[in-house]
Amino acid sequence: MTTVASLAPRSIDEAADLVRDAARRRAVILPVGAGTKRSWTRPAARCDLELSTREMAGIVAYEPGDGTVTALAGTRWSELARRVAEHGHHLSPELPADADATVGGIVAAGQSGLDRLRFGPVRHQVLGMRVVMADGRIAKTGGRLVKNVTGFDLHRLHTGAHGTLGLVAEVSLRLHPAPESRAIGLAFAASRAEALAIARAALALPRTPWAVLVHDLVSEPRNRWMVAVLLAGRADVLADDVKGLRAAAPTVPVMSESDDPSRFEGTWGGQRALETGGLAVHALRVTTAPGDVERICAKLDEIAALLGTEVRLVLQPGIGIVHACFRDLDAGRAARIGSALASLGARIHWRGLDDDLRARVALFGDGEPAGIALMRRIRAALDPHGLWATGRLAGGL
């Protein structure tokens, strides 16, 4: 692997200068944050310079009374979450507490967290941005307000674009009330069907849980499946939620935060790691309509059997996310898995492949996204000279 130059400007203006300079030299830039999600995209077709935001860190504005925060792209997400928690705010997405990931990286990658069922995707948290454009100009979109329809929502375009349309330099986010207390219902199940039935009961509770996860990463031979129902909110409301869960799923033991805070934190933190597919490499993220999760699982079983390998699953049935981890993956197998899922109309995204596989596997499946011609025009409009490293996303974006 060839090494490329890496620069880490300390301010937005410095970043803009570097971009202008690179543009003059016709260099191709790959924007990175902490670099924790490199495996989410294909290797760039060409990259002369990595421009890291990691030194552009800090809170630009935090107005606790207004429930909004603005931070530079290189701010560690975990640090920002800690800072706003001091004023009773919750930062969504909820990610592992020790994660290095940056504000800019998480937004640029459109990363989800443990709390997505409650608060929605990260694109719903972003209120505005400042972006360094391919000509070195700095463009603002949106604002720091919870409600605002002034101008096009270009921040929606940059969210999830992995820096292929500009360098996300500063982000404004909406905040949520931090839950006063939390509880987790954890249940073993002998089969996936049984586990999903419990999950369905939890999802039908009158107040949507914080998260509902189902997985088969358990080492116990007879009860391979586990369901986790996470509840959080105002203390008196939580007590009622727990009662509701006990009524809906009587077999699920519920642990409250107050029972044993440190053990509780460990269990809750474990769910954060699970949300991204757990510990496994070779992780495939399949997304579908919530009602199709079981069908996708059955298909994954079928493919694994056909390939003579093993698959482990982490499911978020309320959202429609299936993380699948395959043992003994190679490019040929990945392609067969991808096409089998495409036939069900599911979307795929390989997220944990090593560099070698990543270059050989269609990370987003074989097809092109609907609207790819328009996406290419948008890219050409915002980056006419191909400054940003490309060929990394679906459709070669």
Partner 1 sequence: MDARVVEQLRAILGPSGVLAERARRVPYESDGLAFARSVPELVILPRDTRETAAAMRVLHAAGVPIVPRGAGTGLSGGATPVEGGVVIGTARMRDVLEIDPANRCARVQAGVVNVDLTHAVAAHGLFYAPDPSSQKACTIGGNTAENSGGPHCFRHGSTTRHVLGLVIVMPDGEVLDVSRPAVDPDGYDLVGLFVGSEGLFGIATEITVALLPVPPVTVTILALFRDLDAACDAVTDMIGARLEPSAIEIIDKLTIEAVEASVLAAGYPKDAEAVLLVEAEGTEAEVSSLVRVVESLLVARGAFDLRRARDEAERARLWAGRKGAYGAMGRVAPDLYVCDAVVPRTKLRELVAATTEICRAKGLRLANVFHAGDGNLHPNIPYDRRDADELRRVLEAGDEILKVCIAAGGSLTGEHGVGLEKIGAMEWLFTPDDLAAMCRVREAWDPALRMNPGKLLPVRACRETHTRPPPPGERA
Q: For the segment 137-156, give every residue that binds partner 1 (CB under 8 A).
A: 137-141, 143-154, 156
Positions 374 through 393 that interact with partner 1 (CB under 8 A): 374-375, 377-378, 380-382, 384-385, 393
Contact present, 211 and 271 (Cβ < 8 Å): yes
Q: What is the full DSSP assignment across 2-28?
A: ---EEE--SSHHHHHHHHHHHHHTT--
The residues, ordered by sequence, that sit 6+ positions from 4 with a Cβ below 8 Å of its Cβ are 30, 47, 48, 49, 50
Asked if residue 222 binds partner 1 (CB under 8 A), the reply is no
Site string for partner 1, 268-287 (x = CB under 8 A): -------------------x
How far apart are the C-alpha atoms of 279 and 152, rounded to whole Å? 39
CB of 347 to partner 1, least distance (A): 6
**Rounded to the nearest whole angstrom, what is the least distance from the CB of residue 366 to partner 1 in the complex?**
13
User: Taking the complex as a whole, how short is the minimal distance between the CB of residue 232 and partner 1, in angstroms?
Assistant: 13
Task: Return all residues near 193 (Cβ < 8 A) that are at least 6 apart.
Answer: 294
Please state whether the peptide bond connecting residue 177 to the residue before it is cis, i.e. omega within 30 degrees of 0: no
Cβ closer to partner 1: 9 or 233? 233
Handedness of CA 42, 47, 52, 53 (dihedral sign): negative
Tokens of 160: 């999830």
Kindly tell me which of 25 and 82 has the beta carbon lying closer to partner 1: 25
Q: Which of 160, 269, 270, 391 binds partner 1 (CB under 8 A)?
A: 160
Identify any residues that bridge with 297 across adjacent strands, giving them in sequence order: none
- Whether the CB-CB separation of 106 and 141 falls below 8 Å is answered with no
Residues 74-113 binding partner 1 (CB under 8 A) are: 88-89, 110, 112
- Residue with smaller CB distance to partner 1, 1 or 149: 149
Which residue in 13, 63, 98, 355 binds partner 1 (CB under 8 A)? 63
The CB-of-55 to partner 1 minimum distance in angstroms stands at 23
Binding mask 11-50 for partner 1 (x = CB under 8 A): ---------x--xxxx------------------------
Q: Which amino acid is at 390?
A: T
- Closest separation in Å from C-beta 173 to partner 1: 14
Instruction: Closer to partner 1 by CB, 74 or 142: give it.
Output: 142
CA 231, chain centre distance (Å): 20
**Which CB, 220 or 236, lies closer to partner 1?**
236
Quickly tell me which residue has 């701010």 as its tokens. Answer: 75
Q: Is 291 in the site for partner 1 (CB under 8 A)?
A: yes
Q: How far apart are CA 48 and CA 60, in angstroms?
A: 30
Decide if 112 contacts 41 (C-beta within 8 A): no
User: How many residues form the binding site for partner 1 (CB under 8 A)?
Assistant: 87
